Amino acid sequence: MNYELNGDQAGILAGLDQLLAAHAEVASGEAENYFHGARLDAALAEAGFLDIDRIDGFGSLDAALVVERLARLPQVVEAGASALIAPLLPSEPGIRPLALVSGEANRPARFLPVAKQLLVLRDGDALLVSLDGSTIEPVESLMAYPYGKLSSLDGLTVQSLDNAADIRRRWRIALAAEAAGCMAAALEIVIEHVRTRQAFGRPLGAFQAIQHRLAMAEETAQSAKWLAFRAAWSDGEADAAIAAGFVQERIARFTYDLHQFSGAMGLTLEFPLHLWTYRLRALAGELGGASTQARAAAQAVWGAA
């Protein structure tokens, strides 16, 4: 048991921070629901940060550390699927971004408009779809990811995969790590807001009603983070379902409170809170939502009926 980064992990994150410093700028100009960090995405891929799980001596925890760190950025990049799920796939590294969808292949999928491959997770199997020659219909939404829908699988190269359970487990870990990073970033800007925004002659953050709910939000963010990292370390069914289910269950309350304390500013695209809360709200419904993860956790820990 050791909650501190080892030398390799500290080195990875220091290197990542160095790269991120060079890509710190967020597209300015018109307010958007999200900012896709295309240049950053390419730099991350080139530097190998998204392939860390494939390198001898490194593993899924190191990948989750990268995913969590990247999720704190205002710009969005596809990291979770590439870093944690792609190593399970038969395709060569570097064919990315990787979009994910569960159920039907033509449901809205995160990152599909920028993806090279689509992974369709179904009940008993998965399909890996090469998107060369595909027609992607963009999906307009409040969510802070690029979403798109595949019009048809016709004419596309589709591989059937039988490791759906492994993919689902890694998806849960990626989701948990990404949500934990989003929570940390969202909380940070709201804490800064309530420290400085004055009402009734004092900072909002001096009101106990707000302090208590932010303290509870911090417990949520901390729990989400450590559950995600433990799940990434063990790569186990129960830990993965617990981590994803916990954070999905908490997202509604967490995002509600953070928007509430941001007032009307929190409803604007100018105030950056939505860049993380609308990632969280997107993640809340993935893989069937908290209840699906909860039942999976129950069965992993205690067995089926």
Partner 1 sequence: MEFGWTPEQDAHRARIRDLLTDTLPADWEALSVHGPGSDYQTDYSREFCKLLADHGLLVPHWPVSQGGEDMPVWHQFILGEEMWAAGEPRGAQYMNVNWVGPVLMKYGTPEQIDRYLAPVRAGEAIWCQGFSEPSAGSDLAALRTAAVPVEGGYRVSGAKIWTSYAGKADTCFLLARVPASEGGAAGKGGIVILLTDMRSSGIQVKQIPALVGEGDIHEVFFDEVFVPVENRLGAEGQAWEIINFALANERTGIARYEFSRRILDRAVIKLKDEGRWADPVVQDRAARALMLCEAARMLVYRVVDAKAHGSPPDAYPSVARWAVVQADNGVNDFLTEFLPDGLLGGDPVQQAHHQRAIAAGVASGAAEIQLNLIARRWLELPGETRR
Q: Under the rule (CB under 8 A), what is the footprint of partner 1?
A: 1-6, 9, 61, 65, 191, 194-195, 202-203, 205-208, 211-212, 214-216, 218-219, 222-223, 226-227, 229-230, 233-234, 241-242, 245-246, 249, 290-291, 293-295, 297-299, 301-302, 305
> 96 or 169: whose CB is closer to partner 1?
169
Query: How near is the Cβ of 214 to partner 1 at its closest, in Å?
Result: 6
> 2 or 28: whose CB is closer to partner 1?
2
> 166 or 218: whose CB is closer to partner 1?
218
> 109 or 231: whose CB is closer to partner 1?
231
Query: How near is the Cβ of 237 to partner 1 at its closest, in Å?
Result: 12
> 27 or 191: whose CB is closer to partner 1?
191
Tokens of 97: 């971004």
Q: Are strands 117-121 and 98-102 parallel, antiparallel or unpaired?
A: parallel
> 154 or 302: whose CB is closer to partner 1?
302
**Residues whose CB is less than 8 angstroms from the CB of residue 171 and which lie 6 or more positions away in sequence, other chains included:** 80, 81, 84, 85, 100, 121, 286, 287
CA torsion sign for 12, 13, 16, 22 is negative
Query: How near is the Cβ of 211 to partner 1 at its closest, in Å?
Result: 4
Residue of 280, 56, 295 lying closest to 186 (CA atoms): 280
Q: Angle 163-224-144 (CA atoms, 0-180°, nearest 5)?
A: 80
Cβ proximity of 239 and 226 under 8 Å = no
> 215 or 252: whose CB is closer to partner 1?
215
CA dist., res. 100 & res. 84, Å (int)? 12
Query: How near is the Cβ of 140 to partner 1 at its closest, in Å?
Result: 33
Query: How near is the Cβ of 186 to partner 1 at its closest, in Å?
Result: 13
Secondary structure (3-state) at 99: strand
Q: Partners of 149 in the beta sheet?
A: 137
Q: Partners of 198 in the beta sheet?
A: 203
Query: How near is the Cβ of 170 to partner 1 at its closest, in Å?
Result: 17
Instruction: Print burial letters for 238-263: b (CB count within 10 Å at least 16), e (below 16).
Output: bbbbbbbbbbbbbbeebbebbbebbe
Query: How near is the Cβ of 7 to partner 1 at its closest, in Å?
Result: 11
CA dist., res. 25 & res. 21, Å (int)? 9
